[in-house]
Amino acid sequence: MALVPDNTLITQTPEQGRELAIMLARKTIGAIQPDAEVRETLRPGYATNADSLTMAGHVVAIEFATIAAANNYWRA
């Protein structure tokens, strides 16, 4: 499983960077819990929990900050 697609964090736009951040967060969860059935079983518990959703958003924000830095905050 490739955890960083094409082995790069470089994107053309911030929008692509955000998409990559979400993808990386999802791949991280898949790497931590590779059993799709277990993930499906767990999903209802966190999908309706505001704290869980906030934490998931935080993970994406950290990924996005890393990608933005790698892109020099999208050069002029």
pTM of the model: 0.86
Q: Give the mean pLDDT of the chain.
A: 94
Q: Tokens for 45, please give them.
A: 């518990």
> In this predicted structure, what is the pLDDT of residue 31?
94
pLDDT at 42: 94
Extents of the domains making up the chain: 36-76
Q: Any residues with CB less than 8 A from the CB of 60 and at least 6 apart, and which?
A: 21, 22, 25
50-70: pLDDT as tens digits: 999 999 999 999 999 999 999
pLDDT at 1 over 80: no
- Going by C-alpha positions, the residue among 43, 1, 4 that lies closest to residue 21 is 4
